[in-house]
Structure 1
Amino acid sequence: MLALIYLATTIVLGACVCRRFYCFNSWLHYLAASFLVGLVLSTWATYLLALAFAWSSKPLVGANVLFFLLAVLAIYNLRPRSMFDPTLSRFRPAGSTVWDAVFIGAFLVAACYLMFGTLWLKDGNVKMAFVVWNDFGPNLSLVQSFAVGHNFPTEYPHFIGPPIRYHFLFWFQAGNLEFLGLNMAWALNLISVLSLLAMLILLMTLGEALFNSRAVGRIGASLFFFPTTLSYAPFLRSQGSFSRAVDAVKHLNHWLWSGYSYRGEDWGIWSLGIYYVQRHLTVATGALLMVLIFVVRRYRDFSDNETKRSPSTRVVKPKPNALPKTAPDTLPDDATRSESLAESTTEMGSLSAPTRAKQEPAFTKQTLGGTLPGFVFSGVLLGLLPMWNSAVFVGAAAVLAVLLILFPLRLQMLALGVAAGMIALPQLIYLSIDGVHTPKLLHWGFTLPDPTMWNVTKYLAFTFGYKWLLIALALVFATGLQRRMFLALSSLILVAFSFQFSIELLINHKFLNTWVTLINLFAAYGLCQLWRARVIGKAAAVVLTVSVTLGGFIEWFRIHNDTIVDVPFRQNRLSDWLQANTTPKDVFLSDRFILHPILLNGRRIFYGWPYFAWGSGYPTGPRDVLYEQMLTEKDPSKLVHLLHQNGIRYVAIDNGIRFGFLKGKLNESVFKRNFERVFEDKENRFGALTIYRVPGSLNDGADLREIKRQALAKSYPLRRVAEESLEASDDELQEDNAGKDLTAR
């Protein structure tokens, strides 16, 4: 219940804030913006308050209490009644509200299927689709580190020690909602569904605002669910017959791939899977859409004003009952709408640069004061994104930099950029602190092995397929505003192929994912233009619709047929023991498993799956050496010193370590003889896991036998240590340095 109250509070807070800066195309636009603004602001506030309570055992208690108090105070001061009276545009294009509801209802069903169908809890286990299993390793670990752990200041669960270098606020909020009462799956899935739905509503709104067509918005948002490369062509051709092709599609269990050496295809980087695996993308993309909608509306307002100022080529005699200059605000909707529609064909973009410069009015205090707050707030909103998704923030910076050049209102756009930069820069510095893998910034070619211009062109043509034809058609009919927006969005392609922001180049695919999500609106506009033609045009529209959606449609079967992975979570003996006998600050030396049960219980491991830490720029090389050294060191004194030096409280050895790359070198016998065994997986549910407690100090070696006798007297399962270990202790003590021993902490 508290979690739902928290979400309701975030929406109300978002509504009270964003209505002060934005005008909305519709109530749906208003609700989507309210949710995203409220989510971003509330998450930041709760996290910063939790940092202030880092000294307490449960920082989220104080953080949420203070958040509710501050949120209620802010809502009261912002006049909550006003949230039921947002400023709505009077110039919406014609369209059916019923069709809007049908599309959004379908989007909601699809979003629930993707999110709840790939992650749920049952019988104490986490059940997840194999597609999400890999990426959810660090992400679910982050969620649990906040929900049942103590990750303040925040560290990366798979690389404990340095500050976190990964955008984590989406996963923090999921952990916070779990802390407030939802189970892990519901906490994560609920904000995932709401974020995706809000993003799609905003995508519809941008299509409506940019192309003056509600149909373009609906179609563009629908194309999101069917991302298609040309990989379906070789896949279908290889089946040999129609019946075999149908059967292959029905039983598909892998992403379509081209047959070229394009890295990432088998991971589904061009598939819908990206958005239900990397769920934090939707919040950041939604925020970018909000800002683009705002900029488009401000451009149209500016263009309308300039059109009215421009001298007409026609001589029009004023009528005796002509309205005064201040009349537009009181004109009937039909009269003002005609001016708005005429703007799309008489834009400032058709003027030459010198003429435009002459006609641009000097900014007065009134015009600047009336438009500047919205731009500054938009900059603040974007500036809060690096901790949500740094790639989308960088992409947004590129898009807005081009808009600064191509659009008017440059002073306001500059204010937007300055506000975003001032807030984002400390986050970017924080995320890059202590990084050892700092790649060169300029890198041409994305992941292509031979990135000639021809190969890059071929790659883009194959990856986005027939969508290019629709985009080209859209640009033929586009206005100056729409072409400027296309150029700005295309900067995302340039960023993806020209820069390297991480040691893992493949991460640049997020720029292209964002680009294709937004550029779907141009493809939708091209389809609408074709449909307006006669029979041939309608037939071409149908053929091209199939061509740009067929691959995505086929991959829905891959999503449906995905293997379900069971991961032990709660309601088991290991979970009960961890919660009862360890603290969230305890660090375990364990197998480098992606989803270790220790992580899912909010505890820390010294070193998790190396790929994630390596991709984030952590120094994995030295840690590999240290990890192996601690699991192969045969001298008990040196071993304990190493463990203490690295803050390790427990050592967890299972079959993953016993039969992994350390097979034949593992020092488990040293742990058996000298360490207290505190947990043993007799049922072999966790890979025959045995957990040893690290002794607290090195003192007089004469007490080693007594330590082992005390351990045997307790209820810990010490399998096979027994008397032969005690007798062997005398020989070991003679070999130890001056008879040092280990005393249990």
Structure 2
Amino acid sequence: MALLYICLSVCVGAGIILSLKPYWKTGMEFLNRPNRPVSPIFVFLPSAYLIGTLILSWITYFLALAFKNYEKPLFYANTISFVIAVVFLTFLFLSHRERVKRLVYETKKYGISLNIKGTEWFVLISSVVFWTFFICRSLYLDGSYLRVGVSAFSDFGAHLPVIRSFSVGKNFPAQYPHFPDGTMRYHFMFYFMAGNLEFLGLTLPQALNIPSVLSLVSFSMLLYALCVFLTKKTQAGVLSCFLFAFRSSFAFFTYRNGFSSIKDFIHAVANNLNADGTYREHIGNTLHEDWGLWAQKVYINQRHLAFAYGLFIIVLFLMIPFFVETVEYAVKSLQPAKSEKSGLKNNKKPFGDYIKIILFSRQAWAVRSILPCVLSGIILGLMAYWNGAVVIAGISVLFIMAALSMHKLGYLVTAIITFALSVFQTRFFTASNTGVVSVKFNPGFLAESGSLKDIAAYYIELLGVFPFILTGVFIFHCARKSRHAAVIILVISLLLLILFIPSIGIFRAFLIILLLVLFYAALIYRSTNLKVCRISSWLIPVFAAPVVLATTLQLTPDVTVNHKYIILAVILLNIPVSDLLTEFFKSGTTFIVSVCLIFLLTCTGLVDMITLYNLDRNSVSYNLKDELLLWAMNETRPDDIFLTHYMTHYGAPMSIMLAGRSVYNGYPYFTITAGYDIAHREECMKKIYSAADENELRNLAISEGIDYIVIEDQNRNAAEYKLNEEIFYKTFGVAFQNGSITIFKVR
């Protein structure tokens, strides 16, 4: 049934997309010109999966909520969802009978032809193989044991309880299993979808792994398509997917700098070791880089991220035609024209005329086609509880795009719908207007301080040569008009690199600078022979918007969450970088320079991949037939709340949450970053475990809505309080006991 649900999701998405074809067809054909460089099916299939899953999952959730008082809400929700999907598809079939008959006839006559190009097959197959390998290594079943790779187990301490709260629990209306207070501040919908798939018959790993792979593959396909749409180069599309998988950073070189020999370095890379022989995780000296914030690991443990990124690419398909049209219109209208009589070029003021076009003309504000804007707003708005950070980053991109393009009222429509849907969901799930989001000016992100010097040093070390190759786009376009201006940009860029390059060794720094000098020189002196997409330089300020957002504002309790904004920005900025580097493939000398630069861009990512592989050689195990887990699942109510030690990754707390139950005060990092105020519950937890009076203990536990109190070795050895275990035996009855674990029933 679960696989049927996925197929129905794709069919529903396909039906929605096809039924709205008249409204998006013009924009997509505008992007996919000339001669359709991207096969339509290559965009259609991933879009159908993402849109269908988004819509059908929301329908299923609200239907389950309507049946919350029944024993199995998801049974009724899925039954009705299946009926709705079938009725919708039947209606579409009957409405387009002639088209369907013609399609069936042509299929019988000519067979099924996907018309997917060779490069598209390469992107599809390579992304399936690459991501399936790492996704499935990080979460799998070994008999009755759930094995969670070391790369993922920390974040899965939050995700698995959410999944299980739906699949074996009855979490309607949704609340956070780590902090059950009747609200849900965590973007949970991807994990609700996974929980529903487990309920429908998949194993827990399958229920999470299959949509994770589908999301990553769908995003890779759509990223390729977006890059080819904008650059008209299939090679650039392939390179953009490669750069997505392997990040740019100077971490490779700062790490290499600690070794005296290549042999020691290779040995350390292969075994996740530091230069001193101690164990490490990810390389990199910037704050939290060792967490794997920027590596492939982020997609392994934050499974909902690629799904939301893919949906945002679909939004770009709908909205970016307005921007491309503006650029083409502006460039064409602002080109100096020759006077018919004198043959001399007319004097124009390009900047002033451009401002008139985007601000003081009818086209600047008038909406040519309203529905793509409405659809974009609906998609972004419905994403709020799939991944709110991507919605915020996406809005920042569209904001700059709107500022630089015509049809501004269309962007305003998108923003209003997104805001309205997001606020509705926030109020529905949290009973507040803002939920976890609160705007705070906090310049610097994870840099040492908010000074421009420290910010520049941070981003240069974090991103490596990437910003300097991106600067090459401006150098190229300047060189075609004024070599002097191009040289000035070149000098400024190299000075910044020299000033802020981290400690990587003089020789390696010299080689990198020399390579960039050759790169810039080729851009300046061969600019007439290179064909770089005209829109590339215009895309940079648009796609860089999330970086500015991440560097200036803190919108959540943990500023580290801003890394998702930067990741999205870098993924999108890889498009003009790929456009530029693939243009260098045309001649032997520039080809060598391009290959060397691609190595500099991806060498850190390659080490990250090896690190990820090594991390998941080991795993954290959870026994799904654990006696406590089975007892909690069979002998307690789905809405029962357990007081446990806050370290919920191990022992009794995880067994309880894998049974679909909630803990009173879960792991602090999860609860604080989700926006919960844990101070009161922490104080109550300490009072309960260290209580000296029976009545006070009983009254406090009951007043806090606690149904069971767990005592295990984590409680006995806790530093936060001194456990008075004897009083619990006097006050409550023992509901469960196994080894060192004792659970008392409060009421």
Normalised-by-shorter TM-score class:
0.7 to 0.9
Change (3 A) 1:227 1:357: closer
Aligned to 1:713: none
How far apart in 1 are the matches of 2:363 and 2:384?
35
Change (3 A) 1:423 1:436: closer
2:558 is matched by which residue type in structure 1? E
Change (3 A) 1:314 1:14: farther
Say yes or no: does 1:637 pair with 2:690: no
Superimposed CA distance per residue, residues 517-543 of structure 1 (whole angstroms, 9 cap, x where no aligned partner): 2212222112112223x3321111111
1:389 to 384, 387, 390: 387
How far apart in 2 are the matches of 1:232 and 1:414?
43
1:564 to 601, 606, 618: 618
How far apart in 1 are the matches of 2:156 and 2:350?
46
Asked if 1 retains the 8 angstrom alpha-carbon contact of 2:123 and 2:221, the reply is no
Counterparts of residues 554-593 of structure 1 (less than 5 Å): 554-562=607-615, 564-593=618-647
Aligned to 1:537: 590
Aligned to 2:481: none
Counterparts of residues 152-191 of structure 1 (less than 5 Å): 152-191=172-211
Say yes or no: does 1:271 pair with 2:295: yes
Asked if 1 retains the 8 angstrom alpha-carbon contact of 2:389 and 2:565, the reply is yes
Aligned to 2:24: 22
Q: Out of 181-190 and 10-19, give the one that drifted further.
A: 10-19
How far apart in 2 are the matches of 1:349 and 1:380?
36
Say yes or no: does 1:411 pair with 2:413: no
How far apart in 2 are the matches of 1:258 and 1:302?
41
Asked if 2 retains the 8 angstrom alpha-carbon contact of 1:228 and 1:271, the reply is no
Asked if 2 retains the 8 angstrom alpha-carbon contact of 1:209 and 1:293, the reply is no
Say yes or no: does 1:286 pair with 2:288: no
Aligned to 1:254: 280
1:681 to 731, 735, 738: 738
1:672 to 720, 729, 738: 729
How far off is 1:96 after superposition? Answer: 8.5
Say yes or no: does 1:692 pair with 2:747: no
How far off is 1:567 after superposition? Answer: 3.0
Normalising by structure 1, we get a TM-score of: 0.81
Say yes or no: does 1:604 pair with 2:606: no
How far apart in 2 are the matches of 1:230 and 1:36?
34
How far off is 1:580 after superposition? Answer: 2.1
1:353 is matched by which residue type in structure 2? Y
2:680 is matched by which residue type in structure 1? P
1:571 is matched by which residue type in structure 2? K
Larger radius of gyration: 1
Change (3 A) 1:362 1:578: closer
Say yes or no: does 1:621 pair with 2:667: no
Aligned to 1:553: 606
Superimposed CA distance per residue, residues 129-176 of structure 1 (whole angstroms, 9 cap, x where no aligned partner): 112111111111000001000111111111111401111100100001
SS at match of 1:516: helix
SS at match of 1:224: helix
How far apart in 2 are the matches of 1:410 and 1:349?
21
How far apart in 2 are the matches of 1:536 and 1:99?
25
How far off is 1:440 after superposition? Answer: 5.2
Counterparts of residues 27-426 of structure 1 (less than 5 Å): 27-79=41-93, 97-252=117-272, 254-259=280-285, 262-300=286-324, 352-353=353-354, 356=357, 371-426=369-424
Identity of aligned residues (%): 26
Aligned residues: 643
Change (3 A) 1:358 1:140: closer
Superimposed CA distance per residue, residues 48-75 of structure 1 (whole angstroms, 9 cap, x where no aligned partner): 1111112222211111111111122222
How far off is 1:480 after superposition? Answer: 5.2
Aligned to 2:577: 523
How far off is 1:307 after superposition? Answer: 9.5
Say yes or no: does 1:498 pair with 2:552: yes
Change (3 A) 1:414 1:349: farther
How far off is 1:226 after superposition? Answer: 0.7
Normalising by structure 2, we get a TM-score of: 0.81
How far apart in 2 are the matches of 1:542 and 1:613?
45
- CA RMSD, Structure 1 to Structure 2 (Å): 3.0
Aligned to 1:464: 463
Aligned to 1:712: none
1:193 is matched by which residue type in structure 2? V
Change (3 A) 1:280 1:16: same
How far off is 1:466 after superposition? Answer: 1.0
How far apart in 1 are the matches of 2:173 and 2:63?
12
How far off is 1:575 after superposition? Answer: 2.5
How far off is 1:573 after superposition? Answer: 1.9
Asked if 1 retains the 8 angstrom alpha-carbon contact of 2:382 and 2:421, the reply is yes
Where in structure 2 are there 5+ consecutive unaligned residues? 29-37, 104-114, 273-278, 341-348, 478-531
Larger relative contact order (CA 8 Å, sep ≥ 6): 2
Change (3 A) 1:540 1:639: same
Aligned to 2:505: none
How far apart in 2 are the matches of 1:597 and 1:201?
38
Asked if 1 retains the 8 angstrom alpha-carbon contact of 2:322 and 2:405, the reply is no
SS at match of 1:677: strand
Aligned to 1:336: none
Change (3 A) 1:692 1:352: same
Change (3 A) 1:586 1:220: same
Aligned to 2:529: none
Superimposed CA distance per residue, residues 92-138 of structure 1 (whole angstroms, 9 cap, x where no aligned partner): xxx98122212220111111012111011112221111121111111
Asked if 1 retains the 8 angstrom alpha-carbon contact of 2:173 and 2:182, the reply is no
Asked if 2 retains the 8 angstrom alpha-carbon contact of 1:232 and 1:256, the reply is no
1:248 is matched by which residue type in structure 2? A
1:656 to 691, 699, 714: 714
How far off is 1:368 after superposition? Answer: 5.7
How far apart in 2 are the matches of 1:16 and 1:255?
45
Superimposed CA distance per residue, residues 326-356 of structure 1 (whole angstroms, 9 cap, x where no aligned partner): xxxxxxxxxxxxxxxxxxxxxx999922674
